[in-house]
Structure 1
Amino acid sequence: MGKSDALLFAKEGAKVVIADLQEDKLRGIVREIVESGGEAIALKQQRSFRRRLGSHCRRDSYEVR
């Protein structure tokens, strides 16, 4: 799912969770959604070099406000 999908879902009333590796990108998308009246939170992901065959993101994400 990309930015345009997140914006569309938020516009339709969905509460959106944005996940990415780049915190500044996350803040911008969440800000855009919130300023347009939607609800969103951001989860910054961190690459896990130990589990290359499993998920590419670790589970120790945190919320960005």
Structure 2
Amino acid sequence: MRTSSFDTWLTRLRDRRAAMRIEARLDRDVLTWFRTKKKKGYQTAINAVLKAFVESQEQGKA
């Protein structure tokens, strides 16, 4: 089942409200790696790695 363009737009709108725009400094080699591996979604990939790290740290607190 394909999602409609409206559904895609709505999902992106919700995602933007949940995210905050920040400025962060990353090592050049790290940023280059993400940009090379995930050309279009490198920022999403960086966020996923950070989120997984936070979740792993939260599990350790239990």
| Shorter-chain TM band | under 0.3
Which TM-score applies when normalising by structure 1?
A: 0.26
Greater helix share, 1 or 2?
A: 2
Instruction: Give the structure with higher Rg (CA).
Output: 2
Which TM-score applies when normalising by structure 2?
A: 0.27
Greater strand share, 1 or 2?
A: 1
**Structure with the larger RCO, 1 or 2 (CA within 8 Å, 6+ apart):** 1
